[in-house]
Amino acid sequence: MRIAVIGAAGRMGKTLIQAIQDANGVELGAAVVEPSSSLIGADAGEVAGVGKLNVTMTGDLSECVADFDALIDFTTPALTVANAAFCAANGKAIIIGTTGLDDDQKAALAKAGETTQVVFAPNMSVGVNLTLKLLSLAAQILGDDYDVEVVEAHHRHKVDSPSGTALRMGEVVAEALGRDLKECAVYGREGQIGPRTQKEIGFETIRAGDVVGEHSVWFATEGERIEIVHKASSRMTFAKGAVRAAAWLESQPAGLYDMQDVLNLK
Protein backbone atom coordinates (compact mmCIF):
# COMPACT_ATOMS: atom_id res chain seq x y z
CA MET A 1 0.00 0.00 0.00
CA ARG A 2 1.35 3.42 -0.96
CA ILE A 3 0.67 6.15 1.58
CA ALA A 4 0.83 9.92 1.11
CA VAL A 5 1.44 12.13 4.13
CA ILE A 6 0.15 15.71 4.06
CA GLY A 7 1.62 18.15 6.56
CA ALA A 8 4.76 16.09 6.02
CA ALA A 9 7.12 18.59 7.67
CA GLY A 10 4.96 18.94 10.81
CA ARG A 11 5.51 17.26 14.18
CA MET A 12 3.20 14.38 13.27
CA GLY A 13 4.09 14.42 9.57
CA LYS A 14 7.76 13.60 10.20
CA THR A 15 6.84 10.93 12.78
CA LEU A 16 4.39 9.38 10.31
CA ILE A 17 7.11 9.07 7.69
CA GLN A 18 9.29 7.29 10.27
CA ALA A 19 6.40 4.96 11.18
CA ILE A 20 5.70 4.12 7.51
CA GLN A 21 9.38 3.33 7.05
CA ASP A 22 9.31 1.00 10.10
CA ALA A 23 6.10 -0.84 9.07
CA ASN A 24 5.70 -3.87 6.82
CA GLY A 25 3.44 -3.80 3.76
CA VAL A 26 3.29 -0.02 3.35
CA GLU A 27 5.55 2.50 1.67
CA LEU A 28 5.70 6.27 1.41
CA GLY A 29 4.23 7.26 -1.99
CA ALA A 30 4.11 11.04 -1.59
CA ALA A 31 4.79 13.81 0.91
CA VAL A 32 2.91 17.10 0.75
CA VAL A 33 3.90 20.33 2.50
CA GLU A 34 2.46 23.82 2.66
CA PRO A 35 2.46 25.40 -0.88
CA SER A 36 4.97 28.14 0.07
CA SER A 37 7.27 25.80 2.02
CA SER A 38 11.02 26.08 1.47
CA LEU A 39 11.12 22.26 1.71
CA ILE A 40 9.43 21.68 -1.67
CA GLY A 41 11.86 19.58 -3.70
CA ALA A 42 13.62 18.16 -0.62
CA ASP A 43 13.71 14.41 -0.01
CA ALA A 44 10.94 13.48 2.47
CA GLY A 45 13.03 10.78 4.15
CA GLU A 46 15.91 13.16 4.75
CA VAL A 47 13.57 15.79 6.25
CA ALA A 48 12.02 13.13 8.52
CA GLY A 49 15.45 11.88 9.58
CA VAL A 50 15.19 8.35 8.14
CA GLY A 51 17.58 8.79 5.22
CA LYS A 52 16.90 9.25 1.52
CA LEU A 53 13.60 7.70 0.32
CA ASN A 54 13.53 9.19 -3.21
CA VAL A 55 10.16 10.82 -2.46
CA THR A 56 10.32 14.53 -3.24
CA MET A 57 8.23 16.89 -1.14
CA THR A 58 5.54 18.68 -3.14
CA GLY A 59 3.27 21.63 -2.35
CA ASP A 60 0.31 20.30 -4.35
CA LEU A 61 -1.66 17.16 -3.49
CA SER A 62 -3.19 16.90 -6.97
CA GLU A 63 0.31 16.71 -8.48
CA CYS A 64 0.95 13.32 -6.81
CA VAL A 65 -2.52 11.76 -7.13
CA ALA A 66 -1.13 8.78 -9.07
CA ASP A 67 1.47 8.03 -6.39
CA PHE A 68 -0.67 6.88 -3.44
CA ASP A 69 -3.61 4.73 -2.34
CA ALA A 70 -4.30 6.34 1.04
CA LEU A 71 -3.66 9.80 2.50
CA ILE A 72 -2.73 10.37 6.14
CA ASP A 73 -3.73 13.84 7.27
CA PHE A 74 -2.69 15.45 10.56
CA THR A 75 -3.00 19.13 9.61
CA THR A 76 -5.69 21.77 10.19
CA PRO A 77 -9.52 21.48 10.12
CA ALA A 78 -10.15 23.47 6.90
CA LEU A 79 -7.39 21.68 5.00
CA THR A 80 -8.57 18.29 6.25
CA VAL A 81 -12.10 18.94 4.96
CA ALA A 82 -10.71 19.85 1.52
CA ASN A 83 -8.48 16.76 1.54
CA ALA A 84 -11.38 14.46 2.42
CA ALA A 85 -13.38 15.82 -0.54
CA PHE A 86 -10.31 15.37 -2.76
CA CYS A 87 -9.89 11.74 -1.66
CA ALA A 88 -13.59 11.00 -2.16
CA ALA A 89 -13.43 12.44 -5.69
CA ASN A 90 -10.28 10.53 -6.55
CA GLY A 91 -10.98 7.09 -5.03
CA LYS A 92 -8.37 7.38 -2.25
CA ALA A 93 -8.77 6.29 1.36
CA ILE A 94 -8.04 8.90 4.04
CA ILE A 95 -6.90 8.59 7.66
CA ILE A 96 -7.53 11.76 9.63
CA GLY A 97 -5.94 12.69 12.95
CA THR A 98 -6.62 16.42 12.81
CA THR A 99 -8.51 17.81 15.83
CA GLY A 100 -10.51 20.99 16.43
CA LEU A 101 -13.15 20.39 13.73
CA ASP A 102 -16.60 21.98 14.21
CA ASP A 103 -19.88 20.14 13.57
CA ASP A 104 -20.11 21.27 9.91
CA GLN A 105 -16.56 20.11 9.25
CA LYS A 106 -17.31 16.72 10.84
CA ALA A 107 -20.42 16.45 8.65
CA ALA A 108 -18.21 17.03 5.60
CA LEU A 109 -16.07 14.04 6.64
CA ALA A 110 -19.20 11.90 6.97
CA LYS A 111 -20.13 12.99 3.43
CA ALA A 112 -16.72 11.85 2.15
CA GLY A 113 -17.34 8.53 3.91
CA GLU A 114 -20.32 7.94 1.60
CA THR A 115 -17.93 7.41 -1.33
CA THR A 116 -14.57 6.43 0.13
CA GLN A 117 -12.99 4.85 3.22
CA VAL A 118 -12.36 7.35 6.02
CA VAL A 119 -10.86 6.82 9.48
CA PHE A 120 -11.27 9.88 11.70
CA ALA A 121 -10.06 9.73 15.30
CA PRO A 122 -8.79 12.40 17.71
CA ASN A 123 -6.28 9.94 19.12
CA MET A 124 -4.78 6.99 17.24
CA SER A 125 -2.95 5.37 20.17
CA VAL A 126 -4.03 1.92 21.36
CA GLY A 127 -3.75 3.12 24.97
CA VAL A 128 -6.16 6.03 24.60
CA ASN A 129 -8.67 3.87 22.75
CA LEU A 130 -8.56 1.30 25.55
CA THR A 131 -8.93 4.18 28.03
CA LEU A 132 -12.17 5.22 26.29
CA LYS A 133 -13.57 1.76 27.02
CA LEU A 134 -12.46 1.99 30.65
CA LEU A 135 -14.12 5.40 30.99
CA SER A 136 -17.42 4.12 29.67
CA LEU A 137 -17.35 1.23 32.14
CA ALA A 138 -16.38 3.50 35.06
CA ALA A 139 -19.17 5.97 34.27
CA GLN A 140 -21.78 3.20 33.99
CA ILE A 141 -20.79 1.77 37.38
CA LEU A 142 -20.28 5.04 39.26
CA GLY A 143 -23.29 6.93 37.89
CA ASP A 144 -24.43 10.45 38.82
CA ASP A 145 -23.00 10.48 42.38
CA TYR A 146 -19.49 11.07 41.07
CA ASP A 147 -18.37 14.46 39.70
CA VAL A 148 -16.58 14.12 36.36
CA GLU A 149 -13.65 16.36 35.41
CA VAL A 150 -11.34 15.99 32.39
CA VAL A 151 -7.84 17.47 32.71
CA GLU A 152 -5.47 17.57 29.72
CA ALA A 153 -1.93 18.83 29.15
CA HIS A 154 -0.11 19.40 25.85
CA HIS A 155 2.94 21.18 24.43
CA ARG A 156 3.06 24.95 24.01
CA HIS A 157 2.47 24.77 20.21
CA LYS A 158 -0.97 23.15 20.32
CA VAL A 159 -3.63 25.45 18.84
CA ASP A 160 -6.94 23.81 19.81
CA SER A 161 -8.45 23.44 23.29
CA PRO A 162 -9.67 21.26 24.85
CA SER A 163 -7.84 18.54 22.96
CA GLY A 164 -9.83 16.32 20.63
CA THR A 165 -9.06 13.41 22.94
CA ALA A 166 -10.41 15.25 26.01
CA LEU A 167 -13.62 16.05 24.16
CA ARG A 168 -14.01 12.43 23.03
CA MET A 169 -13.44 11.30 26.62
CA GLY A 170 -16.16 13.71 27.72
CA GLU A 171 -18.51 12.41 25.02
CA VAL A 172 -17.95 8.80 26.03
CA VAL A 173 -18.62 9.53 29.71
CA ALA A 174 -21.65 11.71 28.91
CA GLU A 175 -23.12 9.00 26.71
CA ALA A 176 -22.63 6.35 29.42
CA LEU A 177 -24.42 8.66 31.90
CA GLY A 178 -27.26 9.48 29.51
CA ARG A 179 -26.19 13.13 29.17
CA ASP A 180 -25.57 15.38 26.14
CA LEU A 181 -22.03 16.80 26.37
CA LYS A 182 -23.09 19.97 24.53
CA GLU A 183 -25.50 20.70 27.40
CA CYS A 184 -23.37 19.66 30.39
CA ALA A 185 -19.79 20.67 29.44
CA VAL A 186 -18.13 23.46 31.45
CA TYR A 187 -14.83 24.84 30.15
CA GLY A 188 -12.08 26.52 32.23
CA ARG A 189 -13.84 27.91 35.31
CA GLU A 190 -12.98 31.42 36.53
CA GLY A 191 -14.39 33.99 38.99
CA GLN A 192 -17.50 33.80 41.23
CA ILE A 193 -18.97 30.77 39.52
CA GLY A 194 -20.90 29.29 42.45
CA PRO A 195 -20.88 25.66 43.50
CA ARG A 196 -20.55 22.87 41.01
CA THR A 197 -23.76 21.45 39.54
CA GLN A 198 -24.14 17.69 39.83
CA LYS A 199 -24.30 16.81 36.16
CA GLU A 200 -21.68 19.12 34.68
CA ILE A 201 -18.55 17.65 33.08
CA GLY A 202 -15.62 20.03 33.55
CA PHE A 203 -12.64 20.51 31.23
CA GLU A 204 -9.31 22.01 32.27
CA THR A 205 -6.42 22.67 29.88
CA ILE A 206 -2.68 22.98 30.49
CA ARG A 207 -0.33 24.16 27.73
CA ALA A 208 3.38 23.96 28.60
CA GLY A 209 6.76 23.05 27.17
CA ASP A 210 7.09 19.83 25.24
CA VAL A 211 4.32 17.70 26.81
CA VAL A 212 3.34 15.15 24.13
CA GLY A 213 -0.17 14.55 25.49
CA GLU A 214 -1.64 13.71 28.92
CA HIS A 215 -5.27 13.10 29.83
CA SER A 216 -6.74 12.46 33.25
CA VAL A 217 -10.42 11.89 34.00
CA TRP A 218 -11.57 12.27 37.60
CA PHE A 219 -14.61 10.61 39.10
CA ALA A 220 -14.91 12.20 42.56
CA THR A 221 -17.48 11.91 45.35
CA GLU A 222 -17.58 12.36 49.13
CA GLY A 223 -14.84 10.11 50.49
CA GLU A 224 -13.07 8.93 47.35
CA ARG A 225 -11.74 9.80 43.90
CA ILE A 226 -10.86 7.60 40.96
CA GLU A 227 -8.51 8.92 38.28
CA ILE A 228 -8.13 7.24 34.90
CA VAL A 229 -4.95 8.56 33.32
CA HIS A 230 -3.20 8.20 29.96
CA LYS A 231 0.23 9.71 29.28
CA ALA A 232 1.82 9.67 25.83
CA SER A 233 5.60 10.02 25.90
CA SER A 234 6.22 9.76 22.14
CA ARG A 235 4.26 10.82 19.04
CA MET A 236 5.21 7.44 17.56
CA THR A 237 2.25 5.88 19.39
CA PHE A 238 -0.14 8.08 17.34
CA ALA A 239 1.78 7.51 14.09
CA LYS A 240 1.81 3.72 14.47
CA GLY A 241 -1.93 3.80 15.05
CA ALA A 242 -2.48 5.83 11.88
CA VAL A 243 -0.40 3.43 9.78
CA ARG A 244 -2.30 0.49 11.31
CA ALA A 245 -5.56 2.24 10.38
CA ALA A 246 -4.36 2.69 6.77
CA ALA A 247 -3.56 -1.02 6.44
CA TRP A 248 -6.93 -1.97 8.01
CA LEU A 249 -8.86 0.40 5.73
CA GLU A 250 -7.59 -1.30 2.59
CA SER A 251 -10.08 -4.19 3.00
CA GLN A 252 -13.05 -2.10 4.20
CA PRO A 253 -15.95 -0.71 2.15
CA ALA A 254 -16.55 3.03 1.94
CA GLY A 255 -17.59 4.48 5.30
CA LEU A 256 -16.66 6.74 8.19
CA TYR A 257 -14.76 4.74 10.81
CA ASP A 258 -12.84 5.52 13.99
CA MET A 259 -10.01 3.81 15.89
CA GLN A 260 -12.49 1.78 17.92
CA ASP A 261 -13.45 0.13 14.60
CA VAL A 262 -9.81 -0.36 13.59
CA LEU A 263 -8.95 -1.96 16.95
CA ASN A 264 -12.19 -3.99 17.12
CA LEU A 265 -13.13 -2.33 20.42
CA LYS A 266 -16.83 -1.66 19.65
Ligand X SMILES: O=C(O)C1=N[C@H](C(=O)O)C[C@H](O)C1
Ligand Y SMILES: NC(=O)C1=CN([C@@H]2O[C@H](COP(=O)(O)OP(=O)(O)OC[C@H]3O[C@@H](n4cnc5c(N)ncnc54)[C@H](OP(=O)(O)O)[C@@H]3O)[C@@H](O)[C@H]2O)C=CC1
The entry of ligand Y, ligand X, none that residue 202 binds, CB within 5 to 8 Å by partner kind: none
**137-157 burial string, b = 16+ CB within 10 Å, else e?**
ebbeebeeebbbbbbbbbeee
Q: Is 113 annotated as a binding residue?
A: no
Asked whether position 205 contacts ligand Y by CB under 6 A, the answer is: no
Nearest partner of 115 among 253, 260, 261, judged by Cα: 253
Asked whether position 6 contacts ligand Y by CB under 6 A, the answer is: yes
β-sheet with 2-6: strand ranges across: 57-58, 27-32, 2-6, 70-73, 93-96, 117-120, 255-257
Active-site residue 158, yes or no?
A: yes
Considering only residues 48, 53, 74, 245, which one is a binding residue for ligand Y as defined by CB under 6 A?
74
Which residues pair with residue 185 across a beta bridge? 201
Minimum CB distance to ligand X smaller for 84 or for 121:
121
Q: Are 93 and 71 in contact (CB under 8 A)?
A: yes
User: Choosing from 154, 215, 230, 240, which is the catalytic residue?
Assistant: 154
Shortest Cβ distance from residue 188 to ligand X (Å)? 16
Active-site residue 215, yes or no?
A: no
Nearest partner of 216 among 37, 208, 178, 206, judged by Cα: 206
How far is Cα 61 from Cα 21, in angstroms, rounded to an integer? Answer: 21
Largest CA distance in the chain: 61
The entry of ligand X, ligand Y, none that residue 154 binds, CB within 5 to 8 Å by partner kind: ligand X
The entry of ligand X, ligand Y, none that residue 7 binds, CB within 5 to 8 Å by partner kind: ligand Y
User: Choosing from 106, 111, 133, 158, which is the catalytic residue?
Assistant: 158
Asked whether position 123 contacts ligand Y by CB under 6 A, the answer is: yes
Asked whether position 130 contacts ligand Y by CB under 6 A, the answer is: no
Residues in Cβ contact with 39 at an 8 Å cutoff, skipping those fewer than 6 apart? 9, 33, 47, 57
Residues that bind ligand X (CB under 6 A): 99, 122-123, 154, 158, 163-165, 213
Q: How many CB atoms are located within 10 Å of the residue 66 CB? A: 9
Q: Is 116 annotated as a binding residue?
A: no
CA distances from 205 to 121, 125, 130, 150, 190 (A): 20, 20, 22, 9, 13
Considering only residues 29, 45, 113, 122, which one is a binding residue for ligand Y as defined by CB under 6 A?
122
Considering only residues 3, 4, 5, 9, which one is a binding residue for ligand Y as defined by CB under 6 A?
9
Task: Please state the residue numbers annotated as binding site for NAD(+).
Answer: 7-12, 34, 97-99, 121-124
- What residues line the site for ligand Y (CB under 6 A)? 6-7, 9-13, 32-35, 37, 74-76, 79, 97-100, 121-124, 160, 164, 238
User: What residues act catalytically?
Assistant: 154, 158
